[in-house]
Amino acid sequence: MKLQRSETCLFGVVLLLLTRCTLVSAGMACYPACLYACLEVGVWAFANPLGIAVGVTGCNTVCMVACACAYFIPPACFSNDTTVAVSAPDGTLHSTPVSAVHVGDQVLTLVDGHPIVTRVVRNVQSKGNFEFFEFDVRSDRTVSTLKVTPQHAMLLLDASRELRFFLPADVRVGDEMLSSDGSTWNVSNIRRSTSDEKFTLVTSEGSVLASGVLVSTICNEEISTGLKMNEVVEGWKLKHSYDRYAYSQASLSL
């Protein structure tokens, strides 16, 4: 089939970009993750923020360009030993490894300090060599360890008890986080480590209880350190429209 001029030009741009950078530079997990996101939000909505011109093409071409140039690498991720509370159809909660969490699962998070379920809209596994921050978060009787990549959006309580976004490098021993029952736990130790696997988990609420503490699942490109959570999440939810697939978010009594 003969290509139209616009298609020929776009194809030439794709070839040029692919000759200057490779999929390997973005990691083997980039392409499927990118394609999933493109299909979910639509090619125009996905490509325009990345600065990729879209003519008569589709997600396949856009994602080849994005991944070849390392535009889309899932950075804000959990380690493979993270556990998430998954809600069964009868309402019971099961502590589940993040590797066994699937799109469409309903998992536990907190909204205004109250536990609710939120739908998993993405869980992408990546292989490679990844750096992690390890946080020991302690209550009077319990210690939980949370391992996240350096780009992950943490949620800390400020002096007025409002949740704010922080990157892992900005977290300090003594900082406060919320646990699964809404109580406050303190960061008691911080370490660095590496792993060959990570999971990019996203929920429709923009947060999840991971290893028992509240953490954001919003991409780090959409937040910055110090922003109030409640000033970001509603706009983020409208922008991404994950609730168009709506699962009702029922309150849980624990």
- Whether residue 195 contacts residue 78, with contact meaning beta carbons closer than 8 Å, is answered with no
Q: How far apart are CA 189 and CA 118, in angstroms?
A: 29
- Whether residue 35 contacts residue 60, with contact meaning beta carbons closer than 8 Å, is answered with yes
**Beta partners for residue 214, in sequence order:** 209
Per residue in 58-98, pLDDT (tens digit) is: 666 666 666 555 444 456 799 999 999 999 988 899 999 99
pLDDT at 25 over 90: no
What is the pLDDT, as a whole number, of residue 6? 43
Per residue in 131-188, pLDDT (tens digit) is: 999 999 999 888 999 999 998 999 999 999 999 999 999 999 999 999 998 999 999 9
Q: How far apart are CA 79 and CA 243, in angstroms?
A: 26
Structure tokens at 203: 């929920």
Q: How far apart are CA 249 and CA 229, in angstroms?
A: 19
pLDDT at 17 over 80: no
Per residue in 119-130, pLDDT (tens digit) is: 998 898 888 899
pLDDT at 5 over 70: no
What is the pLDDT, as a whole number, of residue 63? 65
Structure tokens at 160: 């007025």
Give the chain's domains with CATH numbers. 5-68 (no CATH), 83-245 (2.170.16.10)
